[in-house]
Structure 1
Amino acid sequence: MKPRDLAIYVFLATAWGLSFLVVLKVVAAFGWVGAVTIRAFIASFTLFALARLMRRRLDFGAGWKPFLIVGATTVAGQLIGLSYATPLIGTATAAILVASIPLFSMLISHVWGLERIGATGLAGLLLGVVGILLLVGFPAVPVTTSFVVGCAAALAACFSAAFGSNYASHRLRGEGPFEVTIGSFLFGGIITLPLLLVIPVPAIPSATDFLYLLISGCVMSATTYVLYFQLVASIGATRAISVEFVVTVVAVFVGAVVLDEPLSAIQFVGAAVIISGCALVLGFVPWRVRRLAQTPIPHQDGVP
């Protein structure tokens, strides 16, 4: 990995890992619907303005439907699910569940005929399922209805993200990172906007709350997604998506140390099992690393 790619990789892992902490702040101030809707519009408009300042030509030649589908899944589905779930189950548990995205991605890719799951990948998927069961079934906190619902929402968000990533890689491969991010976040915001009539912003946010919202939209959405697309184009989608492992480590550390969130010993085992399963699915195992390193890297653009 080139130094520039490594720097992007580390930045993405840090920014997305810390984003769980920001999500808690933004959801508390704007509600879980408002947090996603306003964040999506901020990300889309920020990148559009930046493109104009850079005199960058934007070409949405793929039409509006692919951007609508990616916006509905990767933006609306993923962010709504995680924004709703994180306050219920905590940042650490939510982050560990996010590590299941590569598992869902590989499964969807196999069903669509984009990739085949071999024996190693199948073993990884089974390990991932076992890890999720350990994580959800043996928490350090009481298993309440809200905890179960929160876990279900987080898993639905992860599946939605994996679906959108595969769809974008297939249908928006020829689009640039600015176009994919602007289009998907714009449609994601439009889709969630009507929900504000049902789940409005709970109170008038403070200046600090708006600062967290700007960080969420400008840094942890607009900037990170564009950099992620560049990383995919440089090192390939399979290697790039492995950043989710490091994101989980950062977020769990933040949840356990900064927020003092409890995790049971069995949940730590579940986290290790999930990450091991993902490593098998993605081929990050000793007997396949050399073959993976020798594989030509295709140019792909997708949404994580």
Structure 2
Amino acid sequence: MQPRHFAQLVFLSAVWGGSFPLIRIAAPAFGPLVMACLRCALAAVVLAVLMRATRQAWPARAHWISLTVLSLLTVVTPFVLFNWAGLVLPAGYSAVLNATAPLFGVLAGALFKEERLTLRKLLGCAAGVGGVALLVRLGPVQPDARVVLAVLACVAASASYGFGAILMKRATLVLQPLPASAAVHAAGALVLLLPAGAGLPAVQLRPEALLAIAVLGMVTSGFMYWISMRLMREISASAATSSAFMIPMFGVTWGGLFLGEPFTPGMLPGVVLVLVACAFVTGFNPLWWLVASRQPEKPAARKGLSPGE
């Protein structure tokens, strides 16, 4: 993995980490289904505008079934489940559970024979799970039925992301990222349209919730999904999903800034483990690259000359 790929993963993690506090703000006002539908619709509109500006066409009709399946796995299911969990769990807690997505991505890659399940990747997943546990340290949560269901919803959403990453990788091999991203969100909005209609009477149009849903739809759901698909064309699916290991760092940070959720120096060891996990799963070691970049380049050998010339 090249340094620019790693930088993009960090950027994705920072923006996606902000989605969990925004979910906590918007979910009580809109409800899980209406909120998911609005996110998809806003994302589709933004991406369609970008398509028009860049003169790109919508995917051919033959691809829409596979794109709808991709939408169900990477947009519809995770949005609804994380939105519902946002009514119950703190933002940082949901971000921690989201960090299990790379584990499911690695398992899915091995199951569908897309990637080899190596010891390095398994160690990376283990380090990532341990790192986010140390990082957040949110303390005990009352183990009632609703909390347990919310935790299971987050894990199921992460599994959906992980398995969907394989289909997302396949889509990037035959489709341009921007039209594919727009189609995925348009399909998601259509799938959610009727279920969301049932929740409209309970919607509360509060200013902070409207701002949160606007950012979620246009930025974290639309623009960043497109960036993710572009990155997916160049790196493996498991490496791309490894950004989830860094999301808790940002999720806790944004949650602390905007929602007053705790952040303490005791979380720092978790940061180290998270970075180690990323290095294992992606195969990119930032320290190695930093050392290599400071070494002088060797002069290129002249072509067409034998060693004795």
Give the TM-score range, shorter chain.
Answer: 0.7 to 0.9
Return the alpha-carbon distance in structure 2 between the equivalents of residues 226 and 12 of structure 1: 11
What code does the residue aligned with 1:87 have?
L
CA drift at 1:232? 2.9
Is 1:261 matched with 2:261? yes
**Equivalent residues in 2 for 1:56-75, closer than 5 Å:** 56-60=56-60, 62-75=62-75
**Equivalent residues in 2 for 1:84-163, closer than 5 Å:** 84-125=84-125, 139-163=139-163
Provide the residue aligned with 1:12 in structure 2: 12
What code does the residue aligned with 1:224 have?
M
CA drift at 1:141? 2.5
Q: 1:279 to 1:198 in 2, by over 3 A?
A: farther
User: Based on CA coordinates, which of the two structures has the bigger radius of gyration?
Assistant: 2
Is 1:51 matched with 2:75? no
**Equivalent residues in 2 for 1:184-195, closer than 5 Å:** 184-195=184-195
Q: 1:115 to 1:95 in 2, by over 3 A?
A: same
The TM-score normalised by the length of structure 2 is 0.78
Provide the residue aligned with 1:211 in structure 2: 211
Q: 1:173 to 1:206 in 2, by over 3 A?
A: same
| CA shift digits 1:39-66 (9 cap, x unpaired) | 1011112211331233223333652111
Q: 1:141 to 1:84 in 2, by over 3 A?
A: same
Native 8 Å contact 1:81 1:153 kept in 2 = yes
Percent of aligned pairs with the same residue? 26
- Once structures 1 and 2 are overlaid, which stretch shifts more, 162-171 or 204-213? 204-213
**Equivalent residues in 2 for 1:27-38, closer than 5 Å:** 27-38=27-38
Native 8 Å contact 2:33 2:195 kept in 1 = yes
CA drift at 1:133? 9.3
Q: 1:27 to 1:180 in 2, by over 3 A?
A: same
Native 8 Å contact 1:17 1:247 kept in 2 = yes
- Once structures 1 and 2 are overlaid, which stretch shifts more, 97-106 or 251-260? 251-260
| CA shift digits 1:2-52 (9 cap, x unpaired) | 786566444322221111121122212211111110110111122113312
| CA shift digits 1:144-171 (9 cap, x unpaired) | 2121111100000001111111112124
Return the alpha-carbon distance in structure 2 between the equivalents of residues 81 and 227 of structure 1: 23
The TM-score normalised by the length of structure 1 is 0.79
Provide the residue aligned with 2:232 in structure 1: 232
Native 8 Å contact 1:141 1:262 kept in 2 = no
- Once structures 1 and 2 are overlaid, which stretch shifts more, 24-33 or 152-161? 24-33
Number of matched pairs: 291
Native 8 Å contact 1:123 1:277 kept in 2 = yes
| CA shift digits 1:102-131 (9 cap, x unpaired) | 110000111111112123334445666778
- Once structures 1 and 2 are overlaid, which stretch shifts more, 63-72 or 246-255? 246-255
Q: 1:283 to 1:234 in 2, by over 3 A?
A: closer
| CA shift digits 1:68-112 (9 cap, x unpaired) | 101111000111111111231211111111111111000011111
CA drift at 1:245? 2.5
How large is the Cα RMSD of the aligned pairs?
Answer: 3.7
What code does the residue aligned with 2:30 have?
F
Q: 1:22 to 1:65 in 2, by over 3 A?
A: same
Q: 1:122 to 1:237 in 2, by over 3 A?
A: closer
Native 8 Å contact 2:169 2:236 kept in 1 = no
Q: 1:131 to 1:193 in 2, by over 3 A?
A: farther
Provide the residue aligned with 2:223 in structure 1: 223
Native 8 Å contact 1:30 1:201 kept in 2 = no
